[in-house]
């Protein structure tokens, strides 16, 4: 059809095609499926292993972990052991760099970013877009003995809980797709965890004394090429959404929305908070909703300069960012921020566990896992797929 002969009606047709085309383009990166009420109610809450003194998952992170010190090595080891034993299907990687710091007396300090990811079986590395959950695991040099419980030991634990809670649902979903005769090569959704190193300044926050790990990883991933003909050119463009958790674990957080292009994902979290709370599945008491900008339009959202954090080197390279940090005008960061009081005892554990459930729900919606998560005693198996699920899966093949 040539545009020279195009009347108004035909132009409308063009717009329709353009619109449909855009929709199709958006789907691989932004598929998102709400969880049913039953699934929400059955999402697992962290229990004994989040105990701050004895909990096998959480307590090992609650120690000073300044880069280059034994505590830091121990926490890194803890992450690796957790993924190797609890999530053996995940790939683990380290991205290492060194840098001098204002207090290292000319010596190089090692920084190690911890990377873990899981892609659908049989997919090529460069063809999968990964929901990427991020927190920093280093702790601040001062004050001496600083724990950094909200900054960011608790966010690391929340992410670990979310990943172990959806992992077997990923198996089930992918097995069900294969059983339906679908080509998993068309399944572009993977998931990734980044525990970044060297976020904290050693002396005073500047562009060179901060974000050591994030700057190194973003630079490395921008230049590292995926195999030729890949859907995504670099590991950086393989990040479908960079969700950064920081300063979480204090009571009644205020989470703002900073980026118009990811405001829809922010709103999804706000909706999940509301649904989970009305189902009684959040235990912390909070007078106000955590996601204070949920009712705003995306064009009312802006990053008034933004908060400097690990997302910046990624944002600068065009990665889509969702920044979950407890900060509000007039209130600022939580009162324990960067003080000796940011320790395990000052955490609000109901809030820490609520965050863990909320992030589980978000990851499950992003990965479209409704129907594949265990409903308590009712464990679903691939052969139990009901018709509506089969239809839904078939529909997805057509896209
Ligand atoms: C990076 O550092 C980690 C932890 O020290 C180590 O296990 C790993 O082998 C290093 N990787 C490379 C490529 O040097
Ligand atoms: Zn900090």
- Residue 304's pLDDT is what? 65
Q: Is residue 325 over pLDDT 60?
A: yes
Q: Which residues fall within 8 angstroms of residue 204, CB to CB, at 6 or more apart?
A: 102
- Residue 374's pLDDT is what? 81
Please report, for the chain, the start and end positions of each structural domain, with discontinuous segments joined by +. Answer: 8-394
Q: Is residue 371 over pLDDT 50?
A: yes
Centroid of ligand 1 to alpha carbon of 122 (angstroms)? 27
Ligand 1 and 115: CB distance under 6 A: no
pLDDT bucket at 355, cuts 50 / 70 / 90: very high
Q: Give me the mean pLDDT over the 176-194 stretch.
A: 87
pLDDT bucket at 299, cuts 50 / 70 / 90: confident
Q: 260 or 396: which carries more pLDDT confidence?
A: 260
Ligand 1 and 112: CB distance under 6 A: yes
Percent of the chain scoring above 90 in pLDDT: 77
Q: Give me the mean pLDDT over the 380-384 stretch.
A: 36
Q: Give me the mean pLDDT over the 316-344 stretch.
A: 96
Ligand 1 and 75: CB distance under 6 A: no
Q: 365 or 394: which carries more pLDDT confidence?
A: 365
Mean pLDDT score of the chain, rounded to an integer? 88
| Closest ligand 1 atom, residue 96 Cα | 1
Distance CA 279, CA 273 (A): 10
Q: Give the mutation target among 112, 138, 217, 224 for probing the ligand 1 site: most ligand atoms within 8 A of CB.
A: 112
Centroid of ligand 1 to alpha carbon of 289 (angstroms)? 42
Which CATH fold would you assign to the domain 8-394?
Aminopeptidase (3.40.630)
> Who surrounds ion ligand 2 at CB < 5 A?
151
CB 125 within 8 A of CB 119: yes
Number of neighbouring beta carbons within 10 Å of residue 299? 8
Q: pTM of the predicted model, to two decimals?
A: 0.87
CA 292, 293, 296: angle at the middle one, nearest 5?
145
CB 154 within 8 A of CB 144: no
pLDDT bucket at 308, cuts 50 / 70 / 90: very high
Q: Is residue 331 over pLDDT 50?
A: yes
Strand, helix or coil for residue 397? helix
What angle in degrees, to the nearest 10, is found between the helix axes of 263-278 and 349-366?
A: 120
Q: Is residue 14 over pLDDT 50?
A: no
Tens-digit pLDDT profile for residues 66-102: 999 999 999 999 999 999 999 999 999 999 999 999 9
pLDDT bucket at 184, cuts 50 / 70 / 90: confident
Distance CA 290, CA 254 (A): 5
- Residue 306's pLDDT is what? 74
Q: Are strands 108-118 and 91-100 parallel, antiparallel or unpaired?
A: antiparallel
Q: Is residue 397 over pLDDT 60?
A: no
Centroid of ligand 1 to alpha carbon of 226 (angstroms)? 21
Tens-digit pLDDT profile for residues 283-298: 998 879 999 999 999 9
Q: Is residue 253 over pLDDT 80?
A: yes
Tens-digit pLDDT profile for residues 105-154: 999 999 999 999 999 998 988 999 999 999 999 999 999 999 999 999 99
- Residue 41's pLDDT is what? 95
Q: Is residue 27 over pLDDT 90?
A: no
- Residue 136's pLDDT is what? 98
CB 201 within 8 A of CB 67: no
């Amino acid at each position: 059809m040539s545009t020279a002969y195009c009347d108004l009606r035909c132009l409308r047709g063009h717009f329709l095609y353009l619109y449909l085309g855009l929709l199709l383009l958006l789907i691989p990166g932004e598929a998102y499926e709400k969880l049913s009420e039953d699934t929400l109610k059955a999402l697992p809450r962290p229990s004994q292993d989040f105990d701050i003194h004895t909990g096998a998952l959480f307590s090992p992170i609650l120690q000073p972990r300044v880069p280059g010190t034994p505590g830091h090595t121990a926490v890194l080891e803890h992450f690796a052991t957790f993924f190797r034993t609890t999530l053996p299907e995940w790939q683990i990687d380290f991205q290492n760099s060194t840098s001098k710091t204002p207090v290292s007396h000319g010596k190089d300090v090692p920084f190690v970013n911890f990377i873990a990811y899981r892609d659908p079986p049989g997919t090529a590395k460069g063809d999968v877009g990964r929901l990427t959950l991020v927190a920093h695991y280093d702790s601040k040099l001062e004050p001496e003995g600083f724990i950094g419980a909200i900054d960011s030991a608790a966010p690391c634990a929340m992410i670990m809980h979310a990943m172990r809670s959806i992992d077997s649902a990923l198996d089930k979903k992918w097995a069900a797709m294969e059983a339906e005769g679908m080509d998993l090569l068309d399944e572009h959704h993977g998931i990734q965890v980044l525990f970044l190193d060297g976020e904290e300044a050693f002396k005073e926050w500047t562009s060179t004394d901060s974000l050591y790990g994030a700057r190194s990883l973003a630079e490395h991933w921008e230049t590292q090429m995926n195999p030729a003909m890949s859907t995504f050119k670099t590991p950086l463009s393989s990040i479908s959404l960079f969700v950064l958790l920081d300063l979480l674990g204090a009571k009644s957080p205020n989470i703002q929305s900073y980026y118009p292009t990811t405001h829809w994902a922010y709103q999804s979290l706000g909706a999940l908070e509301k649904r989970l709370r009305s189902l009684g599945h959040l235990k912390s008491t909070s007078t106000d909703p955590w996601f204070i900008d949920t009712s705003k339009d995306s064009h009312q959202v802006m990053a008034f300069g933004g908060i400097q954090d690990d997302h910046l080197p990624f944002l600068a390279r065009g990665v889509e960012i969702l920044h979950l940090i407890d900060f509000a005008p007039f209130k600022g960061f939580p009162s324990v921020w960067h003080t000796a009081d940011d320790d395990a005892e000052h955490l609000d554990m109901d809030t820490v566990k609520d965050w863990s459930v909320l992030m589980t729900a978000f990851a499950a919606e992003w990965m479209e896992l409704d129907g594949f998560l265990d409903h308590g005693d009712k464990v679903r198996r691939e052969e139990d797929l009901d018709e509506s699920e089969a239809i839904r899966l078939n529909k997805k093949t057509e896209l």
